[in-house]
Structure 1
Amino acid sequence: MAARRLVHDGLRILERNWRCSEGELDIVALDGETLAVCEVKTRSERAFQQPAEGIDRPKAERLRRLAERWLNERWPVHFEQLAQKVVGAVQATGTSDGPAPPPPGGVRIDLIAVVNRFRGAALIEHVRGAV
């Protein structure tokens, strides 16, 4: 549901459930030229805590570290694949003169809050730049 919502909002999904020894990123997507690292939090309608409350300071710091690690390990791969598709991007040459440039629009961490209701469809909210 979360990935469908992001695609509906105009984002392009690059990766889902990326794992490393330090943790997991739920969804990594491109929002125009901005890389959006998305944390999905699900709660029931009757839960004591709201989804956004599930991201405390330690979790936010871990997400920042994971985003940096993802960029170091995966962005060059995605950049080479996307360079020819993104308008105004540098042409992919097939050779590497160093690390790929960072996403032109920078990186942000978003929250996808999913509230499963007792009756009816889940409520989904996409909060850009939540962290």
Structure 2
Amino acid sequence: MHFKDALGRYGEAIAARCLTDSGHRLIETNWRCGRGEIDIIAADGRTLVICEVKTRTSLAFGEPAEAVDEAKSRRLRLLATQWLAEHPGGWEAIRFDVVSVLRRAHGPAQVRHLRAAF
């Protein structure tokens, strides 16, 4: 496994734990279709949460969450529409979150959960 892939899996595992610790129920991780992937799909009560996870090892290129640009948010909205078409349910709302994970050389990771990030 390449370092970037391992780093991504590490960040997604940390993010999943962060979400479950805050009361979210995980529905699916790494959902894929021909158009792309949603890192985490979760429920926060009756709200469907589409969660993008960004992980970095330093702040040299900015905060991890800064990597979620307009094109990425547009693609996630499209993917969420497809997921909802395949998984109908009675959601009261949908929310797009970003979990930012900074993996430090020493000590625990720094995790920031940005609710309704876009």
The answer to whether the superposition gives a TM-score over 0.5 is yes
Structure 2 equivalent of residue 72 of structure 1: 85
**Aligned counterparts, 1:1-131, within 5 A:** 1-74=14-87, 76=88, 79=89, 101=90, 103-104=91-92, 106-131=93-118
The aligned length equals 105
1:29: Cα distance to partner? 0.3
Q: Distance in 2 between matches of 1:33 and 1:18?
A: 20
- Is this contact kept in 2: 1:45–1:118, CA < 8 A? no
On the 8 A contact 1:43/1:49 being kept in 2, the answer is no
**Which 4+ stretches in 1 moved above 6 angstroms?**
none
Query: Which one has a larger percent helix, Structure 1 or Structure 2?
Result: 2
Q: Which amino acid aligns with 2:20?
A: V
- Structure 2: any 5+ residue segments left out of the alignment? 1-13
Root-mean-square deviation (Å): 1.1
Bigger radius of gyration among the two:
1
What percentage of residue pairs aligned between the two structures are identical? Answer: 49
1:55-98: CA deviation from partner (whole Å, max 9, x where unpaired): 11111100100111111112x2xx4xxxxxxxxxxxxxxxxxxx
- Higher RCO, Cα 8 Å, sep 6+: 1
In the alignment, structure 1 segments of 5+ residues that lack a partner are 80-100
Secondary structure in structure 1 of the residue aligned to 2:101: strand
